[in-house]
Amino acid sequence: MSSYRIHGATGEWEVVIGLEVHAQVVSNAKLFSGAATEFGAEPNQQVSLVDAAMPGMLPVLNEECVRQAVRTGMALNAQINAWSRFDRKNYFYPDLPQGYQISQLYHPIVGEGVIEVLLDDKDESTAKQIGIERIHLEQDAGKMLHDQHPSYSYVDLNRSGVALMEIVSKPDMRSPEEAGAYVRKLRSILRYVGSCDGNMEQGSMRADVNVSVRKPGQPFGTRTETKNVNSVRFIMAAIEYEANRQVEVLEEGGTVVQETRLFDPDKGETRSLRSKEEAHDYRYFPDPDLLPVELSDAFLDECRETLPELPDAKRHRYEQELGLSAYNASVLTADVTTARWFEELLAATGKAGPEIGKAASNWVISDLFGALNRLGRDITDSPVSPKQGADLLGLVADGTLSGTLAKQVFEIMLETGQDPGRIVEERGLKQTSDTGAIDKVIAEIMAANEDKVAEYRGGKDKLFGFFVGQTMKAMAGKANPQVVNELLKKALG
């Protein structure tokens, strides 16, 4: 489907991409200890004896983290492994107090699944299935601080032991855009499920990017792995750079070395960190401090029952039940907070189906998003509540406000936070359908523009808009446009 190609001197090259996304699990406590997981605490303030690997300390699995991983797997239509196990991955580094990371190599908790991505929001035919290889649970490491002392490095163990889900894709992506769409979709699903906040700036989500190139139709080439890339933009840039670098190497007669690389966001390039020969021997083996994880049917049922409606299902429902365009449905369902806001708004209108869906979606996407964009705010701290939005839409629907008046009222709502009903009441912004008043204004306008009346009557239909504008202006925008239209038609004959 993707026709993304790198045009080299020797012809076209196809790019093959797989991603390992590390997603921090939303939970109050760490994967194997009771320490807190909040972001932004002072260094080493969220460290238990277990996290600091004091002698004789033992891990105890946090069931909430298991629940989140299972729910995530279910949301990705993945195989849930009722029996899984933790392994130790052994290596020395000061940010790893135990000298091993507890992870799941041999028996991950979630097996194969699939994510559908749309390359174009407006077009279902651009859908592509990206395979999920597995999801496993593992501990995060601490953080090194190199800028605290001229000759020593410090370590902050707040992150040490925090639960991560490693979500491994199959090598199914073929362009930076597909990879970007995959990460955005994955992030969207995780946020719907509530298993990861998806906050890439705070490091709650980061990706190891596997890239190789090949001539179309040839077997996979040798891949490189670029570690810890922490934004969608950087992931796409890293792929683009790395793919072009590999093509260059190959076309100059060289070979791609299987290695770990780092992405430098300032220079927009990747560089070698360590080669396969320098790779650690992690000596994985089953962690003898932990029992295998066995999931009961009751637990699995509970996980399934707590899954929310997911973005794909929601998008289809918005199109079918609410009559939204593919684009509107896609925009409103991409992020769970938007969808929730939209649904609260719908509920507050007391109406259902296309009767309200179209108007509400258009208002949210053009008026509300426009305003939030201007204010530099997120929908979670919108100055207008869903209830207030619903009231505004209600005033338009019952003819109290015209479109123009509604925009005025909305601006005042943004500034003051007041309810639209009160604004209309206090400022007299109510639309009028008083035919007497409107007729009077029309008569005055026709009297003042006799030439134009004659032209109109002589066949210049376009002038109708002029009379509408003049009438609305004279009515200070408060006249019901439909009534104005009717009365004008009658008067102009």
Partner 1 sequence: MSNLTDLSIAAIRDGVRDGSFTAREVAEGFIANVEKGRSLNAYVVETPEHALAAADAADQARTSDDLKPLSGVPIGMKDLFATKGVQTTAGSNMLGGFKPVYESTVSRKLWDAGAGMLGKLNMDEFAMGSSNETSAYGPVISPWRRNDGGNAPLAPGGSSGGSASAVAARLCPGATGTDTGGSIRQPAAFVGISGIKPTYGRCSRWGVVAFASSLDQAGPMARDVRDCAIMLEAMSGFDPKDSTSLDMPVPNWEAALSSDIRGKRIGIPREYRIDGIPEEIGRVWDEGIERMRDAGAEIVEVSLPHTKYALPTYYIIAPAEASSNLARYDGVRYGLRGTSDGGIDGMYQATRHDGFGSEVKRRIMIGTYVLSAGFYDAYFNQAQKVRALIARDFERVFNEVDLILTPTAPSAAFALGDKSSDPLAMYLNDVFAVPASLAGLPAMSVPAGLDGQGLPLGLQLIGRPFDEQGVLNAGLALEERSGFTHRPKAWW
> Contact, 371 vs 363, CB < 8 A?
no
Q: Does residue 92 touch partner 1 according to CB under 8 A?
A: yes
Give the end-to-end CA distance of the chain in Å, rounded to a whole number.
Answer: 58
List the one residue from 6, 61, 262, 307 that touches partner 1 (CB under 8 A). 61
List the one residue from 24, 37, 72, 98 that touches partner 1 (CB under 8 A). 98
Which CB sits closer to partner 1, 52 or 295?
52
Which CB sits closer to partner 1, 52 or 412?
52
- Cβ 230 to partner 1 shortest distance, Å: 24
Region near partner 1 per CB under 8 A, out of 108-116, 283-291, 401-409, 465-473: 283-291
Number of residues that bind partner 1 (CB under 8 A): 30
Region near partner 1 per CB under 8 A, out of 59-67, 208-216, 339-347, 415-423: 59-67
- Cβ 216 to partner 1 shortest distance, Å: 35
Q: Which amino acid is at 488?
A: L
Q: Which of 57, 23, 62 is nearest to 168 (CA)?
A: 23
Q: Locate tokens 């921090």: which residue?
A: 24
Q: Does residue 58 touch partner 1 according to CB under 8 A?
A: yes
Q: Does residue 428 touch partner 1 according to CB under 8 A?
A: no
Q: Does residue 99 touch partner 1 according to CB under 8 A?
A: yes
Q: Does residue 483 touch partner 1 according to CB under 8 A?
A: no
List the one residue from 16, 53, 273, 468 that touches partner 1 (CB under 8 A). 53
> Contact, 37 vs 46, CB < 8 A?
yes
Q: Does residue 375 touch partner 1 according to CB under 8 A?
A: no
Map 299-363 to HEC letters.
HHHHHHHCCCCCHHHHHHHHHHHCCCCHHHHHHHHCCHHHHHHHHHHHHHHCCCCHHHHHHHHHH
Query: What mask of x and - would describe binding to partner 1 in positions 127 to 166, judged by CB under 8 A?
Result: --------------------------x-x-----------
Q: Which of 330, 387, 308, 389 is nearest to 119 (CA)?
A: 330
Q: Does residue 52 touch partner 1 according to CB under 8 A?
A: yes
Neighbours of 304 (CB within 10 A): 12
CA–CA dist 491, 481 (Å, integer): 15
Region near partner 1 per CB under 8 A, out of 20-28, 63-71, 118-126, 280-288: 280-288
Which CB sits closer to partner 1, 140 or 240?
140
CA–CA dist 410, 208 (Å, integer): 45
- Cβ 44 to partner 1 shortest distance, Å: 10
DSSP per-residue codes, 427-472: HT---B--HHHHHHHHHHHHHHTHHHHHHHHTT-TTHHHHHHHHHH
> Contact, 268 vs 243, CB < 8 A?
no
Tokens found for residue 369: 């998003």
In the complex, the residues that contact partner 1 under the rule CB under 8 A are 49, 52-61, 88, 90, 92-94, 97-100, 153, 155, 281, 283-285, 288-291
